[in-house]
Amino acid sequence: MKYWKYYLVALLVILIDQLSKWAVHHYMQPGMAGEIPLIGDWAKLHYTLNPGMAFGVELPPPYGKVLLTSFRILAMFGISYYIYYLWKRRAVSGLLWSVALILGGAMGNLVDSIFYGIIYDNAPFGAPTPWFHGQVIDMLYLDLYEGFLPASWPLVGGMHLSLWPIFNIADSAIFIGVALILLNQTRFFQTQDDDAVAKPLPAEDPVAAQARRDAETSELA
């Protein structure tokens, strides 16, 4: 299968991500009305739409989303080629698996941006076209903490903090891929040249070594 197995992993991430979004869209109500507790009060399924990038960051309308989606398309081709490049360079397989997760996650959200304005009619009001303006479906809600930090803490004391990320399977794949690379960068990015330097040179055959010395002695004579 050569390098194709890494693209198949990316495809698997896309399929799982899109199936989960389809199920959420068809079987859950948006917002708090449709929340489904998973683990106590801090892990839930919560149907919401994300019009932009991570954490809801948006580029200026009306064509900011088109620029964002175009950038994602370029990034998709770049990451796809990078997997092939790494495979040709005989990179560590763990790095290839990690990049494959990132590719799958990026493509999963790209499908939302390109097609969901048509498929699910969820383009924001006033979008110049439903194409390339689809909103990403998020559903994994971690209600970790919301409140004021202790006043005794330096610099941030007394500040209000909200930690309740809402994300999807594609986001999770990207996060896992990046985390694996950061945690294993020493092993993943050790070059073959470093390995070659570290390996001792093979011992010379004794018979060949004696023949070489005899030839050198005869030349001096």
- Count of beta carbons in the 10 Å neighbourhood of residue 86: 19
Residues 6+ apart with CB under 8 A from 65: 51, 52, 58, 59, 113, 124, 127, 132, 133
Longest dimension (CA), the chain: 99
Catalytic residues: 138, 171
Gyration radius of the chain over CA positions = 26
First to last CA, the chain: 60
3-state secondary structure of 28: coil
